[in-house]
Structure 1
Amino acid sequence: MAYTLRVEEAAQFASSVPILDAMGVRVLEATAGHAVAELPPEPNVNHFGVTYAGSLYSVAEMLGGVLSLATFDLEGELAGFVPLVKESTIRFRRPALGVVRATASLSDAEVARVRADALATGKGEFVLEATLTDARGEVVASTIGTYQVRRLG
């Protein structure tokens, strides 16, 4: 069953987390299996004049939640489930200047597997890779995170 979150709804997710809202994170795309967010340079510049490492990590990590909300029907088929991050690592490749774009995707097959696992066991786990690019289109960082959609209670 395909489920797609409207970008406006995904944007509400980012603004519902106070630190993401303060960082100016904007959700640009949120469709089944795909999420893109943008991080502005201000207020995310460090004392060296490049994007703060913690801001880069935050915009990448939150994609797991946005992608889960856009991909899995957490108000219908998977009502009572929430997206959680279990583990995440980041590899910084170069200093980031200007607007940073974070992108992550899951294949249709992986989405189907996670959904089936969640319905069968109460949790569906997946690994999500995110790529962060700067205003010049150069990769500045990448993350690998383990996430779950999990029934609470």
Structure 2
Amino acid sequence: MDAGFFQELADNVSNGPTPFVNRAELRAEVVEERHVRIVLPLGQLHRNHVGIAYAGSEFVLAEIAGGTLFMATYGTDEFVPILKSVECAYVKPGVKDLHVDLALTEQEAQDKIALARERGRGDYFLDVPVLDADGEQVALMKFNYYALPAKK
């Protein structure tokens, strides 16, 4: 994977194939091999009826960051990720800009995709902490993505 591929992934965070996600105003600060950092500016669009971060916005941030990490780790030629299930734990109210910073070692990346490679498809588990601007955890999303074979 080259720098152009990572730039395309970064661009897709805010200008990709899903119009709803594009409206979220997410910002990719880092997209490199096995590492992503995605930011959600906590403006009016993402505040709920009591002025804190809307749970759905936190979910979108975490899900897009996890999917981007998958593609920044494995590319897009072998597998594509789809979401199979998620467990959301909202730890404390988000009142500042939010971000997700995810990285995998080479060994972690190999271990996570091993079953899918063995079977040609399969589960891929990823815990995604959502942090505020001070680095405090506001949520934890436990994702079960499903790695499907990429269409060739």
Pairwise CA distance, 1:73: 2.5
Which stretch shifts more, 112-121 or 11-20?
A: 112-121
User: Structure 2 CA distance, aligned partners of 1:106 and 1:135?
Assistant: 22
Per-residue CA distance 1:3-23 (angstroms, 9 max, x = gap): 466542122322212122111
For structure 2, list consecutive stretches of 5 or more residues without a partner in the other structure.
Answer: none
What TM-score do you get using the length of structure 1 for normalisation?
Answer: 0.83
User: Structure 2 CA distance, aligned partners of 1:73 and 1:7?
Assistant: 9
Do 1:97 and 1:135's aligned partners in 2 also have CA atoms closer than 8 Å? no
User: Structure 2 CA distance, aligned partners of 1:82 and 1:62?
Assistant: 13
User: Structure 1 CA distance, aligned partners of 2:114 and 2:134?
Assistant: 40
Do 1:96 and 1:134's aligned partners in 2 also have CA atoms closer than 8 Å? yes
Instruction: Label 1:124 to 1:107 Cα distance change in 2 as closer, same or farther (>3 A).
Output: farther
Instruction: Label 1:139 to 1:119 Cα distance change in 2 as closer, same or farther (>3 A).
Output: closer
Do 1:125 and 1:147's aligned partners in 2 also have CA atoms closer than 8 Å? yes
Do 2:99 and 2:132's aligned partners in 1 also have CA atoms closer than 8 Å? yes
Identity of aligned residues (%): 27
Q: 1:138 is aligned with what amino acid?
A: E
2:47: which partner in 1?
A: 45
1:60: which partner in 2?
A: 62
For structure 1, list consecutive stretches of 5 or more residues without a partner in the other structure.
Answer: none
What TM-score do you get using the length of structure 2 for normalisation?
Answer: 0.83
Tell me the matched-pair count. Answer: 147
